[in-house]
Structure 1
Amino acid sequence: MITRRNFLRMTGAAGALSLTSSPSLLAAADDGFIELRARPATASLLGEDAPPSKVWSFNGTVPGPTIRARRGDTLRVRLVNELDQATSVHWHGIRIDNAMDGVAGLTQAAVEPGETFDYVFTVPDAGTYWYHSHNRSWEQVERGLYGALIVDEPESAFAVDDEATLVIDDWRVGSDGRLDEDFGNMMDWSHGGRLGNWPTVNGATRPTIPLAVGRPVRLRLINAANARIFELDLAALGARIVAYDGQSLAAPETPAYNPFLLGPAQRMDILLEAPDAGVLPLREVSGGAFDLAYLDFRQADAAATRPAPLIPAALPEPDLANARTFDLHMEGGMMGRMVGAIVDGQYIEGKALWQSGQVWAFNGVAGLAETPFFRAKAGETVVVRVINDTAFPHAMHVHGHHFRVLERSGSAIKHTPWRDTFLVGPTQTTTIAFVADNPGKWLFHCHMLEHQAAGMKTWFQVA
């Protein structure tokens, strides 16, 4: 395996030579369908002069091609499965029709090898989203089955030349380019998840991102890693945040803390105000500072213009006075106190529990329960207290809805943004609230994908 020290040594001299912009755009065919072909491919994860890596891809690239639409558009996407494993596609963060959510085993059957599936849905909110496999996702996302989904306002707030999408990932890969294929490693599943040793942005090592100088620039950041929480030095960029998880703020805000944590599946849009010509690093600092990418500000072809005002989505505010409250007790993992759990309707404990691979539980149940975590009427406000009785952080994702975080460990949070994925720290309790206004069966799970595979998932139903 490549260590962090070797990574710095191998990339230090030539790290800024890879020039890239946002992932390529995907256009619709004559029948109106965008085609996503899930298939094996190779990628130069370690650099153009290093051995290529065998990956799984959408349309031959990692990340897959960017899908771009405008708010209110109807997307038609045809998944063609050219893998030897069943798959599906989840449209992460989209308030979507339940049948199109892409969760194999809950909202649809997995798409078998050689088969196709048509996704047809409307995108109600402008913002930064992403798509990824949702069958055996702990393996398939790690192999590269993901891409960006960008939804613009009908009158876009930013010209495309004044923004870039940066899909950040980490890979567990050797110096020979081979991915570590031990995807069922119980050390990963029972600890912090599969943490890679080689970071990439848009599938490249330390790429240079060309951007316009002298005008506001928007960066759309997407964390596509299985389990890593990236700690980003936004202060060095002078960045302000304009959106979380696809949902625009009413006005740009200065980050409340630095470094800023970007958990698995979370997105963040940041604004850089008319930078001068030159190169700035996008820096990750969790284990000592290293550069993920370089932002190369160059002379623009046109005069600088101010972007249009940001437009927050018209999401229904939770009615806390009339809300119902539910507790989600998280337990398990190494250094945890879980003795046993219900797996497939049967209570097991000890060695048998670990042999089952289900080592995390929600409210005493590991994996999807037969009955929902809760049932809500359409339009009802729901408050969920997530009690993390484990030794690890978790990135919790609510499908089909956005929520506000109300409290962390008893401390109220004011003016909290809309999110679809939140971090809850070890032994911490986090309270969220949302209006259950999207009918269907919705997944609620940890987006540390090994944790999800090992039991951290449940579902709720909206009538």
Structure 2
Amino acid sequence: MKAAILRTIILASSVAVFAAGCSKVSNMNGMDHSKMSMGSTPTSNSSESATSAKLTTATPVVDGKEFTITAQESNLEVEKGKTIPVWTFNNSVPGPQIRVKVGDTVKVNLKNQLKQPVSIHWHGYPVPNNMDGIPGVTQDAVEPGKTFTYEFKATVPGTYWYHSHQDSVNQVDKGLYGSLVVEDPQDTADRDYTLVLDEWMSSGDMDMDNDGMNMAGHDMSMYDLYTINGKTGDAIDKLTVKEGEKVKLRLINAGYITHRMHLHGHSFKVVASDGQPVNDPAVIKDQFVSIAPGERYDIEFTADHPGNWLLEEHAKDNRAQNMRAMIQYEGSNAKPDPSDAFEELPDFDLEKYGTMSATAFSLDQSFDEDVTMNLNTEMRNGDMVYTINGKVFPDTDTIKVKKGDKVKVTFVNQSRMDDHPMHLHGHFFQVLSKNGKPVQGSPIMKDTLNVKPGETYEVAFEADNPGEWMFHCHDLHHASAGMVTDVMYDDYQNNYTPDPNVNNVPE
């Protein structure tokens, strides 16, 4: 089956009709999800209410240009007999995959049926500033019963995602996210699967308040349920392939924990990071690819080893071992591939992968702005906070730029135990060096970079998208407890005035 036919696949069994208001949908099973009734939330001691409650539907793939996305409550059956309360876009977790082509103008109507205000941020995508979805910064959060329309032009191909940026530590945790794929006209994959990684609390209690997160940065054991596309363990949909096909896997980390993924039985290439292509990617095998919160990696392989093979989290604890998808060859009678999570494997090293080519920036050039971000974990007044240069948001130092400025940022992770996946809104940045050593492989363009304890990175970007942009850690526990700053264009005129009656919570 050719790519033109299969380009709208998320999972083989997950194409469903999009909810009311869409201009065009993939409609394979004829179900009208917009007419499903609202049910009560199940309780832990009531099997009857759990059975009658509204459950999420399969994630649809939408390939039109205008959509309505509705934020609403539902219940997610992560495996048979295990259901947790969730917040959804269009009653699915992940929400609808939006697939568009370069040049398309995307229009999304966000309708809020929740009891709390929400927004949509287009993670990694260089949208105009007023479409960035940051409550109190670029727009008011969309209050219950109201609608807000996002509109932007798809200019850059690749794998991206979207999520609420209103009280995001809680709302993303509860399921308010989906994927955005801008199709590359040069893509020749026969199968194209999107796998959204996440972790949950099996208790269903996903609320994080500051009083309860003093250890959240160090002890993430409260997240005891790992999922791929909202399912765990054997409930995860199989990835069907035919021998000889070229298969693309788009891996998106929507959670707050780094996941080390291992593709069994096949050589593969890492063809993109954060949607941006890798130059001349080499064929590798039996390496695990670490995907930090907010990051995306696209890998490709040729289906040349018939059988049933795992793509799994490479970890020894039980919760992580449930993050596994089976790659199943059509017609194969082979036994399921066993986990090898206890074996030692080398780490995939993006800084030494691919081939160097012409770049926008170099370490020996001059920059208009040269900024250092010392990232740290501190205790203040009995609370754990996450600081940039010793300050917590909103008291962090704004990065002030003018359009056209060349900006270098040095990340220094001074935390003893915490990773900090740093995410810049509205721009891509080039990774120049790690721990003082220049990048040796392909030029690396990203919007989210994981900085581990003791590590130092130098990155650079051009101030080419005027506005007021957030720059923050995408472990949203850390962002909500202070690790946020802004990139502010001196010459940007912001016509937005926050409504004081709206409870805008940008992080």
Query: What's the TM-score, normalizing by structure 1?
Result: 0.81
Aligned to 1:211: 241
Aligned to 1:364: 390
Change (3 A) 1:20 1:162: closer
Structure 1 position 198 matched with structure 2 position 236: no
**Distance in 2 between the 1:224 and 1:315 partners?**
32
Structure 1 position 326 matched with structure 2 position 352: no
Structure 1 stretch displaced more, 320-329 or 65-74 = 320-329
Structure 1 position 443 matched with structure 2 position 470: yes
Structure 1 position 402 matched with structure 2 position 428: yes
Over aligned residues, Cα RMSD in angstroms? Answer: 2.7
- Pairing of 1:325-344 with structure 2 (within 5 A): 325-333=370-378
Change (3 A) 1:181 1:376: closer
SS class of match (1:406): strand
SS class of match (2:329): strand
Offset of residue 257 of structure 1:
8.8
**Distance in 2 between the 1:400 and 1:166 partners?**
24
Structure 1 position 379 matched with structure 2 position 404: yes
**Distance in 2 between the 1:196 and 1:431 partners?**
32
Identity, % of aligned pairs?
A: 35
- Residue in structure 1 matching 2:307, options 275, 278, 291: 278
Deviations 1:245-279 (A, max 9, x none): 01122333346993221000100000111333321
Aligned to 1:261: 290
- Residue in structure 1 matching 2:67, options 34, 39, 42: 34
Aligned to 2:360: 317
Structure 1 position 458 matched with structure 2 position 485: yes
Aligned to 1:123: 154
Change (3 A) 1:256 1:95: farther
Deviations 1:298-357 (A, max 9, x none): 269xxxxxxxxxxxxx998136513131111112246xxxxxxxxxxxxxxx42xx45xx
Q: Contact (CA 8 Å) 1:171, 1:199: kept in 2 or not?
A: yes
Code of the aligned partner of 1:209 = L
SS class of match (1:460): strand
Q: Contact (CA 8 Å) 1:23, 1:165: kept in 2 or not?
A: no
Q: Contact (CA 8 Å) 2:362, 2:432: kept in 1 or not?
A: no
SS class of match (1:382): strand
Offset of residue 26 of structure 1:
4.8
**Distance in 2 between the 1:270 and 1:222 partners?**
11
Aligned to 2:457: 430
Offset of residue 367 of structure 1:
1.4
Code of the aligned partner of 2:361 = P
Change (3 A) 1:124 1:282: same
Change (3 A) 1:259 1:276: closer
Structure 1 position 168 matched with structure 2 position 197: yes
Change (3 A) 1:234 1:147: same
Q: Contact (CA 8 Å) 2:267, 2:284: kept in 1 or not?
A: no
Q: Contact (CA 8 Å) 1:22, 1:164: kept in 2 or not?
A: no
Structure 1 stretch displaced more, 99-108 or 316-325 = 316-325
- Residue in structure 2 matching 1:99, options 126, 130, 147: 130
Offset of residue 191 of structure 1:
2.9
**Distance in 2 between the 1:244 and 1:26 partners?**
29
Change (3 A) 1:381 1:239: same
Change (3 A) 1:110 1:219: same
Unaligned runs of 5+ in 1: 1-18, 301-313, 335-349
Structure 1 stretch displaced more, 125-134 or 289-298 = 289-298
Change (3 A) 1:64 1:107: same
**Distance in 2 between the 1:330 and 1:133 partners?**
25
Aligned to 1:158: 188
Code of the aligned partner of 2:325 = A
Change (3 A) 1:394 1:195: farther
Aligned to 2:250: 220
**Distance in 2 between the 1:257 and 1:136 partners?**
39
**Distance in 2 between the 1:24 and 1:114 partners?**
25
Deviations 1:138-165 (A, max 9, x none): 1111100001111102x35135x51111
Change (3 A) 1:163 1:30: closer
SS class of match (2:173): helix
Deviations 1:201-251 (A, max 9, x none): 1111232122333111101111111x2100112465422111110112233
SS class of match (1:450): helix
- Residue in structure 2 matching 1:53, options 84, 88, 92: 84
Q: Contact (CA 8 Å) 1:88, 1:134: kept in 2 or not?
A: yes
Change (3 A) 1:429 1:274: same
Structure 1 stretch displaced more, 102-111 or 437-446 = 102-111
